[in-house]
A and B are shown apart, each in its own frame.
Chain A
Amino acid sequence: MTVVIAITAGVLFATGTYLLLQKLLSRIIVGLGLIAHAANLVLLGSGGAPGRPPIVEAGQTGPFSDPLEQALVLTAIVITFGVTAFLLALAYRSWQEHGTDEVEDDVEDRRIARLGFRRREES
């Protein structure tokens, strides 16, 4: 079971990273969401084998799940949820202002690119 979680987390990390490198902000946000899911899965998997009850009832013997990392993952999910909502609002604001969803190039990068063009025209 842990192997399944590990592989799922790996696939989520990979797709998330791919989306993060895109130019459209909406894709970047989806990518961030996937990466956050992957991190949460790793956290969930860190407590050992899943599928067992975290709360032990009276008289119950036998293996039980570690409840701590479930509490941790709950906190982490809430935090990611809040920050992602904020980022979505920011993305909407950016779309309102620029009319496009595309993330612009770095200011310095553009300046250097412009210098390069000028050099080429001069020569």
Chain B
Amino acid sequence: MTTVATLALAIPLFGAAFSLIALRNLLAQRIVSIAASVGLVAVSGYLLFAVDADGAVAVAVGGWEAPFGIALVADRLAVLLLFTAAVALLAVLVYAVSQRSTDEELRGFHSVYQMLATGVALSLLTGDLFTLFVAFEIMLTASYVLLTYRAGGEQTRATISYVVIGLVASALLLTTIALIYAVAGTVNIADLTTRLDAVPAGLRSGLGWMLFLVFGIKAAIFPLFFWLPDSYPVAATPVTALFAGLLTKIGVYAIVRTQTLLFPSDGPVTFMLVIAGLTMVVGVLGAIAQKDIKRILSFHIVSQIGYMIMGLGFFTVAGVAAAIVFIVHQIIVKASLFLVGGLVETSEGTGAIDEVNGVAKRSPLIAALFLLAAFSLAGFPPLSGFVGKLALVQAGFLAERWVVVGVSLFASLLTLFSMSKIWSGVFWGEPAEAPKERPARGMTAATAALVLVTLIVALAGEPLVAYAERAASDLLEPGVYRTLVIGAAP
């Protein structure tokens, strides 16, 4: 099984290399890229079940034993998110290929796309803080390139601020890792779990909050989210959908991984819950003030991050499990909402909700897809958002943190309000003029497939929550992770 875990990195990496070799041949590039994405789905799907049945695997890269070498750790949390990410990557890739943008593809879109997939897989699988930094850099550099593909005029400004924020966050992450290395003498996460015990409590929590701050910039929590709604909407639809689905969630994953393993807390962390509540409310209020589909959805990304931080903030198995379920739900639903937004933009020529009318009459399928995804985002039963929010609210009741639970339900209501704003603005009414361009069949099919996955997530709600609970107890149970990577503590 160790080979399979390594394959999850090798497949997208070779996909990137081969599509770079085939740079002049569009068909070959597409075949390589799609084959790599299908391969990643298959491998991570296998890992999803194998890890749950036989236990997690740790790979010592190059045969260098942990904690001296680089460790790859495929535990339940990593493989669950890897599988979800792989599904989103595949669907978005099919959408991108169906969209007629051959010139972009010829300029290396596929190899950059696969590099992004490599970065995502590496950040999920690594068991080493410095490798996590490298993985973030791979992922972010690929995202810089994808974002600047169409850059011109207004967009250059947005991309520059995105790159600058990314660089500042990376420098801070590097500094934090250096400080952790200085006090603990290792960057291996499993080794750190015990070595940090010897560090004075104040120093340890200082380092913990520094990591929270750095990953918080990447995850776009309040008050560090201002870069996101400016930069995401300017890119091409598949790129925005991918960023919305994956990048911020990887930041949240890093927060969950480091806070639970390295800086555990006995009870709920009030500061985190306050940040979570503010992120939810400020994000959704920002969304209500916007007038463009993609900008509205971008603010919703921020708002939904708050729910995940809330789950983590309870610091119970139920809370962390709910956060994990919510990340899975968000990766799929956010990507599909942006893809629907792209379908509307393609067929109507713009995503401004004042200018578009009557999409429901002209293309009922797009309207149905939007409705399902939007209801799922707001948390209607029986969709996936309901599963995630129910788990979160239950965890909140168990932890007896009534205020933040109330805030989260209030933010859900506002989410519904802002979704109904898109619905009444874009989908109701009489269509004004002839459609600009019919979206290609593959685009609609990819979107529909992703929306279908949200339904599957909802139907598989119970096993998913149980899986997430096992993943969360792996994280919160002291020593499990260490035993897996290094062996039993002395």
Contact = CB atoms under 8 A, between A and B. Distances in A.
Interface of A: 20, 25, 28, 32, 35-36, 38-40, 42-43, 45-47, 68-69, 72, 75-76, 79-80, 82-84, 86-87, 90-91, 93-94, 97-98, 103-104, 106-108
A104 B156 CA distance: 10
Contact of A90 (B130, B163, B178): B163
Nearest to A95: B156
Contacts of A69: 178, 181
Chain A CB within 10 Å — which of B137, B152, B174 has the most? B174
Contact of A79 (B134, B157, B175, B187): B134
Interface string B146-185: 0010011110110111011011101110110111011000
B52 interface: no
Main secondary structure on A side of the interface with B: helix
Nearest to A28: B164
15 contacts: A25-B160, A43-B181, A45-B178, A47-B182, A68-B181, A76-B174, A80-B167, A83-B144, A83-B166, A83-B167, A86-B145, A91-B160, A103-B157, A104-B157, A107-B154
A90 B164 CA distance: 11
Given A25-B160, A90-B148, A97-B152, A46 B178 contact: yes
Contact of A38 (B137, B175, B187, B230): B175
Interface residues of B, number: 34
Interface in B96-146: 130, 133-134, 137, 141, 144-145
A58 B144 CA distance: 47
Contacts of B178: 39, 42-43, 45-46, 69
A24 B167 CA distance: 17
Interface of B: 130, 133-134, 137, 141, 144-145, 148, 151-154, 156-157, 159-161, 163-164, 166-168, 170-172, 174-175, 177-179, 181-182, 187, 230
- Ranked nearest first, the 3 interchain pairs of A and B with the lowest CB-CB distance are A46-B182, A43-B178, A39-B174
